[in-house]
Amino acid sequence: MVSCNHDKVFEKYEKMNDNKWLKNQALTFEVPIEDTSCVYDISLTVRHAEYYPYANILIAINQITPSAEDRYKIFDLRLRNADGSFIGDGSGDIWDTKIPVYKKMSFNNKGTYKFIVGNHMPYVETEGIMEIGFVVEKAKD
């Protein structure tokens, strides 16, 4: 059995103009995978302002493998607790939340995997979103 060290393989953040994530503004993250013997945890990070009005954010992820296989999934990511308080770490009027979206994911082939992250909220623009990040780490054993 091969042991994998827990470390970040990929980490990138995309800032939004005027703290608004537009419906048609897809974010592309190209993740190079060299080690197919390990499993990976993939998380999205959401940086938002205190005035973000919703309890969640709907995000669609389109995953394209090096062999052009295409997978699509919608995620309902919670940003607030049941009592209305924000989940995550707050500093002043800025909140950061890291949310796992794929746990212990394996990659069958080496190469660059493309993840296209889209705003799936039912609005032309989603106010209060400052930044979306994409983090890939080797999973803990």
Domain encompassing residue 116: 12-138
> pLDDT-derived band of residue 131, with 50, 70 and 90 as boundaries?
very high
Per the structure, the count of domains in the chain is 1
Domain presence at residue 106: yes
At residue 26's C-alpha, the angle toward residues 22 and 31, to 5°, is 145
> pLDDT-derived band of residue 1, with 50, 70 and 90 as boundaries?
very low
Domain presence at residue 2: no
- pLDDT score for 57: 98
Domain presence at residue 78: yes
Q: pTM, whole model, 2 decimals?
A: 0.91
Q: How far apart are the first and last CA of the chain?
A: 11
Domain presence at residue 81: yes
- pLDDT score for 140: 84
2 has a pLDDT exceeding 90: no
Domain presence at residue 37: yes
Among 106, 95, 2, CA closest to 48? 95
**Averaged pLDDT of the chain:** 94
52-80 residue pLDDT tens? 999 999 999 999 999 999 999 999 999 99
Domain presence at residue 1: no
4 has a pLDDT exceeding 70: no
89 has a pLDDT exceeding 50: yes
> pLDDT-derived band of residue 5, with 50, 70 and 90 as boundaries?
low
In the numeric block, which tokens belong to residue 18? 């005027």
CATH of the domain at 124: 2.60.120
Domain presence at residue 54: yes
| Better pLDDT: 69 or 140 | 69
6 has a pLDDT exceeding 80: no
Domain presence at residue 4: no
